[in-house]
Structure 1
């Protein structure tokens, strides 16, 4: 079975079929939305494109009509000369000048259309990419952890940014060719109504084949999204500085490059099979149109020889039939292209119409500021997972208290933080802050109260100060706040030693960028958390994993001094740090199995005491 035939049996191809069917039956389904999008991008350019399209549609028939009169005028003048009479050449020259003017206007119209399309392409590409990114800002975290969503996003970004203008261009092109065909019809019907019917029927076979293979191409496009995304990922791994060390050290380069080539060859086989079928059928069915054209030529020539039409009319009908056939072909091609654009645009609007959770809370203040945070029978399961990540969690943290979370990787510690910060919503149970359910809180207000450092914190390829300022976008460019937060995060000393201090470019993506050590990056992240001076909940998820034990202890003593009257939640595998917390919970399999302070948990001789003893033994 060929690679292309194989993909037809895949579920992705099967799921695409209903969309393709709807796209063929509603080839104009997205035309209105695409035109509205282009119109909102630039009123002036869209209007100019429409006007020039109208002009370009009317001019060809006028050129053919003037050309016929030129030929007839020349024939008449030649007959007068042979008869010894003086010809009226002024009329010939005026007709030639008129045709020249029309041809010039046609060239100007086509150039204007190209100009408008070029500018619209640039503006519309930016506009659609902004729409894609704006939509991304409204999506929940669960979308970004879903592979099917990434396939949807990949399809939208790869093709859909250019398709709205393509659909509009084809819509205007369809209008232009319909106008031209109507004007040709007015000329051809005077020769024979059958000529118009032949002209229309001759283009249908090629159109049907083109529409069929447009659907096949779209099916292939949807099927290949995961492989395309894998190729992009492999390119990133092979060409990015953050993975270059391991790629070279472990000799991964040839292996990953071979995998990259294998994906290409797999996709290329499917492309080649489709292209071969498409072009073979296109060539065979295109010959029908060519045969029809020359049969029409023979008919027109025979009619001229029989004296039923003049030589000028013959020339005009030749031109009109040839251009009419081109117009019919362009019309059918536009409809087929619009069908194809409709299919690809469905991926854009499928992405843009991804349902999102609308913020429903409005509370900006709790009912009991002394209550702190409560988890009441909270359960949460990741989409697609069989087991809950958190199961029946009950927890109370009062203002001014610190809580440490202990457990193996994957036990649910970070998930608990994501629920607290409303990156996820619990499946059951509720989380309260100051006596009010998080669902009822205004999300912006809630997140301003939380300063958080995740274990996989972002390392922005920006200036040092901007990396810190990211913790509070309302003071993103405030250098005084950068320095204040840098000092609290114990990052000020090494930052001042950098070439441009807080204005030093970080990362290697841009000129003069400096790379930091893991510990220095973690101090930057810690400073970022202190940018939110109004935050009364501080969350540290393995914030010092890249530091040695002594540096971590120093940072946490400093951190505790700065965190009085705040709720502090800490995730760490180092018990020298964990034991400082007012209360400790041990999570295993998504459930709290032990709860107390360090002394209580050691006395219980349970899981915590076992882990503490193991770690303490390592320091003996």
Structure 2
């Protein structure tokens, strides 16, 4: 074919990739998000996705979300309750020891009662923590599936032009990586923040009895580590978005090196070591960036974390001195030290949760930017046209691929009526396949319009329009499914109908080799799954032809190089089937074999997207121009 743009994912060797600009400057903003407003506004702005994430988790499982909330509340209250009971235990032990020293009866019952109560609190705490773990694990699986389904559902609504855009592939890659885990992570952090807030409130109440300054020291001690973690979370995210093309190149190289459809050429041409070296180079580049970030993050986290440690031991000394002075009891000292240590952990966990929520929101922005991707105009709703039997009209149609400077189709006008066959002829890149993609609404014209039965294609209901078209492209899909399902894919309503498989396979001549398959139409094709069988190129092409013939209700049959892998006799048989089927239908043929093209009712010769000749075979031969010259050259080759 050659008239479609190159695939969006190209593995070109970039000898200058080590000299790329840093992701921390303006280039990073171009690849990621351009900062606007103050630092505070930027920080708070990314939390816009929190509400959507919570809604997503809630709709995934209301029961599990409620259970997590309840268990979070319990887990938040138990540590402070344990610390308070610990104080009572120590004071009860001190009082009992004093009673023994005074020769009185010690209050063992009181001591043991407090111990039993603390044991019960610890059991409840352990149960709530284990329950949280179980609920989060179940919700993680459900949410991961839900997000992946949302991503795939969105993919079904996108136009072909999106999938031919490398920047879109970056966005899709970013959305799929970590997107399934980030919503639950965000909600878990939110619940964790609530849990720590509850714990901190209870700790603060206990510490206020000692000194309000102790509460202030507790809070301020964790701020430095929080600030450094937040800074590096943002930096890690910018790095993540900046290197999406490298990630895709690695994924592509893995596919080339480990897939059966590439294995033959990789081995025969000795490409393995070369491609593996490129894979290593990409890893080295990515790892160097990760290593630098990790080392900086670790150094500053440790250095500023020492401030929090210093704050704790300063408070430790303060409490110890107050105990020695007799201002607080031994039990109170034990409680305050425990509360301060646990409080410091809760402050650190709270600030870490906020930083983590910030990071989660950054990654969720990828998911929601993908899900919010515009999909173009609203689909039409019409089921019939105002002029039944008018057929297909191209009226001044032009189309230019995004990013291209020259149109692939330039001012094309033609008319195809029922009962007529049309052949498209031209060199690779002349626009033949692009014309078919416009007819099937895989692309929208840049200029002009295309009508069916007098109604513009954009006004047709997409499902109804595509039900009227049976098409096989040269680069047809080879599904790793059952042989019959590969045929049935041509009409989803009869996807599992074996009788229809057989009828279509007879027309597409796939039935000639199905009898040789171990399980007939139930044979697994491809090598990805157990007992899969591989077909030859010609056999696959017959399967694809049969797929096109599945649409018995279609009145437009499009065959784009459908017999390139077949011999001349098989090709003649296929087109005989096509002629028999087009008594009241329209057929569009693309072929490089002029023995096939000459039988069409109308022939259009394309060059660089423009129609340069059209007419019947005899008329074009009499004109003695491009068509006649190509036909003569090919005919001489068979003499």
TM-score interval for Structure 1 and Structure 2 normalised by the shorter chain: over 0.9
SS in 1 for 2:48: coil
Match of 1:233 among 226, 240, 252: 252
Map of 1:180-329 to 2, 5 A cutoff?
180-329=199-348
Residue 599 of structure 2 corresponds to residue 583 of structure 1:
no
1:395 paired to 2:411: no
Alpha carbons of structure 1 residues 595 and 5: separation in structure 2 relative to 1, 3 Å: closer
3-state SS of 2:178 partner: helix
Task: Report the counterpart of residue 55 of structure 1 in structure 2.
Answer: 74
1:305-351 CA-partner distances (Å, limit 9, x unpaired) = 00000000000000000000000000100000000000000000000
Q: 1:17 to 1:366 in 2, by over 3 A?
A: closer
CA-CA distance at 1:617 after TM superposition:
1.6
The 8 Å contact of residues 402 and 582 in structure 1, kept in 2 or not, is answered as yes
Could you list the runs of 5+ residues in structure 1 that have no partner in the other structure? none
The alignment status of 1:16 with 2:35, answered yes or no, reads: no
Q: Give the aligned partner of residue 512 of structure 1.
A: 531
Q: Secondary structure at the match of 1:160?
A: coil
Q: CA deviation at 1:248?
A: 0.4
Q: Hey, what's the Cα distance between the residues in 2 that align with 1:47 and 1:3?
A: 51
* 8 Å contact from structure 1 (residues 4, 273) kept in 2: no
Q: Equivalences for 1:44-443 in 2 at 5 Å? A: 44-443=63-462
SS in 1 for 2:476: coil
C-alpha spacing 1:150/1:27, structure 2 compared with 1 (3 Å): closer
SS in 1 for 2:611: strand
Other structure's SS at 2:233 match? helix
Structure 1 range deviating more: 555-564 or 344-353 = 555-564
Which of 452, 468, 487 pairs up with 1:449?
468
User: Residue 26 of structure 1 aligns with which residue?
Assistant: 45
CA contact (8 A) 1:3 1:273 kept: no
Kept after mapping to 1: 8 A contact 2:488/2:550 = yes
Distance 1:135 1:316, change over 3 A: same
1:544 alignment counterpart: 563
Q: Is the 8 A contact 1:468 1:524 kept in 2?
A: yes
- Distance in 1, matches of 2:535 and 2:288, equals 45
State the TM-score, normalizing by the size of structure 1.
Answer: 0.98
Deviation at 1:5, TM superposition (A): 7.1
**How far is the alpha carbon of 1:600 from its aligned partner?**
1.0
Contact 2:538 2:565 survives alignment (8 Å): yes
* Superposed CA offset, 1:341-388 (max 9, x none): 000000000000001124442221122223111100001111111111
Structure 2 counterpart SS, 1:445: helix
Say whether residues 1:495 and 2:514 are aligned partners. yes
User: Deviation at 1:17?
Assistant: 4.2
Q: Secondary structure at the match of 2:499?
A: helix
Q: CA deviation at 1:564?
A: 2.0
| Helix, strand or coil at the partner of 1:584 | strand
Question: How far apart, in 1, do the equivalents of 2:595 and 2:348 lie?
Answer: 78
Show CA shifts across 1:401-445 (max 9, x none): 000101111111111001101111111111111111112111111
- 1:35-50 aligned within 5 A: 35-50=54-69
Aligned equivalents of 2:190, 2:408: Cα separation in 1: 51
SS of the counterpart of 1:602?
helix
TM superposition shift of 1:612: 1.1
Instruction: Decide which moves more: 607-616 or 234-243.
Output: 607-616
How far apart, CA to CA, are the structure 2 residues paired with 1:217 and 1:504?
A: 48
Partner of 1:567: 586
Aligned equivalents of 1:58, 1:178: Cα separation in 2: 10
Task: Indicate if the aligned counterparts of 1:471 and 1:531 stay in contact, CA closer than 8 A.
Answer: yes
2:26 is the counterpart of 1:7: no
User: C-alpha separation between the residues in 2 aligned to 1:526 and 1:430?
Assistant: 29
**Contact 1:27–1:335 (Cα < 8 Å) also in 2:** no
Q: Which residue of 1 aligns with 2:6?
A: none
1:523-554 deviation digits (Å, cap 9, x = unpaired): 11111111111000000000111112232122
Provide, for residues 574-593 of structure 1, a one-character-per-residue CA deviation record: whole Å limited to 9, x for no partner. 10111110111111111111
Q: What is the CA–CA distance in structure 2 between the aligned matches of 1:260 and 1:328, rounded to whole Å? A: 43
The alpha carbon displacement at 1:15 in A equals: 4.4
Query: Counterparts of 2:26 and 2:430 in 1: how far apart (Å)?
Result: 36
* Distance change >3 Å, CA 45–CA 544, structure 1 → 2: same
> Within 1, Cα distance between the matches of 2:483 and 2:379?
36
Distance 1:507 1:96 in 2: 67
Distance 2:516 2:544 in 1: 18
Larger mean CA deviation between 595-604 and 460-469 belongs to 595-604
Contact kept? 1:4, 1:274, Cα under 8 Å:
no
Following TM superposition, by how much is the alpha carbon of 1:504 offset from its aligned partner in structure 2, in angstroms?
0.5
**How many Å separate the matches in 1 of 2:201 and 2:232?**
29
Task: Report SS of the residue matched to 2:219.
Answer: helix
- Distance in 1 (CA, whole Å) between partners of 2:231 and 2:613 is 64
In the TM superposition, what is the alpha-carbon distance from 1:4 to its structure 2 partner? 9.7
Task: Quote the Cα distance in structure 2 between the aligned partners of 1:94 and 1:209.
Answer: 45
- What is the number of equivalent residue pairs in this alignment? 620
Does the CA contact (< 8 Å) of 2:524 and 2:532 recur in 1?
A: yes
Q: Distance between the aligned counterparts of 2:484 and 2:245, measured in 1? A: 37
